[in-house]
Structure 1
Amino acid sequence: MNKLVSSMREAIRDIHDGATLIVGGFGLCGIPEHLIAVLKEQGTRELTVVSNNCGVDDWGLGLLLANKQIKKMISSYVGENKTFEKQFLSGELEVELVPQGTLAERIRAGGAGIPGFYTATGVGTLVAEGKEHQTFDGRTYILERGIVGDFALVKAWKADTMGNLVFRKTSRNFNPLAATAGKVTIVEAEEIVEAGGLNPDEIHLPGIYVQRVVHGGAYEKRIERRTVTAKEAGSR
């Protein structure tokens, strides 16, 4: 089955107001930057977005945030985005902070058809408020729910026309999980080959989880926060 679509605009055509999106990436590494940019142009609003973080003010999911297209963020880290802070403090943006490992497992569980699981992470903190508590072998755990999105937006290094995917390095943190948990998974790939063009032993995610693949073209390799040593700073 050929899952290749002709353009970014065609790939996201049916993302509707109020949809829940699961978006891959870690910091600014491995984010589906072209799909995000086209979604900004489309103007879809009232979105609930599940992602490790919300980009920066002028890149990644920060573009949707600045355009006030996001109603709620479910994230584990939000410290690089002043727009995020402003909208949260003003009450414009609803935020659900989730420990990073718990967020990854909630997405994985959603993709695996698991409605919930127990974890000790967050017990005794604000994270545990309002959640079911159970004791196993003398230790307290809280119930966390799996997450399923209406759509998943994913960045792959390589894809074939059947949707089999290969990810590169750190982009494997959340992209494969996100791809499994979307009812409709949309992938932008740096390189697309014909079916059979990928070594089966190197495929990180099978195409059964993917509905659409689009070529991403050129990418801008940004760094979320650039840090240098005092020596390097002095030499500038």
Structure 2
Amino acid sequence: MSVPSQLTFDLALPPPTYERADFVVTPGNREALAWIDRWPDWPAPALALGGPPGSGKTHLAHIWAARAAAGWTDGPGLEGRSVADLAELLAGSPALVVEEAHRAPERALFHLYNLARERRGSLLLTAPALPAQWTISLPDLASRLRAAPAVGVAAPDDELLGSLILKQLADRQLHAGAGVVHYLVSHMERSADAARLVVAALDRRALVERREIDRRLAADVLAELSARS
């Protein structure tokens, strides 16, 4: 069945949910979650999470931020910040998430680390790779990050991606035919964002076209999303 020409689909990514209950635990992220749960019993003022996009670093950061009442910033946002500015980031809470920490100015990150240590606070640093793989020219910053725990978060495997799709379907009270989830896992982009987008598109097309969510509809949706990318 083709989509009627007058119909259009709003395929904007639905807002993610970052509740602890929505986090799917797999071998690739279990250690990282254990470190989040271990806070505030960290051996250093910072914990670094490294992993590819879609691996769940941001979800883990939100879980920790809720637990620690942490503030939020990103590495590029530290550009041009004075020590007083950095101290202000820790004024409301001595806990802070720094996403894309590898893109932070080194001296700003160094001062932020020292401020967190002085205030007995904590930093959660996220990046595509662990600090040992960053290019760091400031020796004092390098030594501090080497002393901090760092844990990798793996890209979604088949188990995680399938679980994310099933949860998205269940949240929308949708039923998928046999083999649909396996088909999607085998053919779609491997990320949590892609899982949300695919299920949202399946929901819309199934409703508008009055179709069952089967492998044919799944193939149509993936083809449409691929054409739009």
**Structure with greater proportional strand content:** 1
TM-score, normalised with respect to structure 1: 0.29
TM-score, normalised with respect to structure 2: 0.29
**Structure with greater proportional helix content:** 2
Bigger radius of gyration = 2
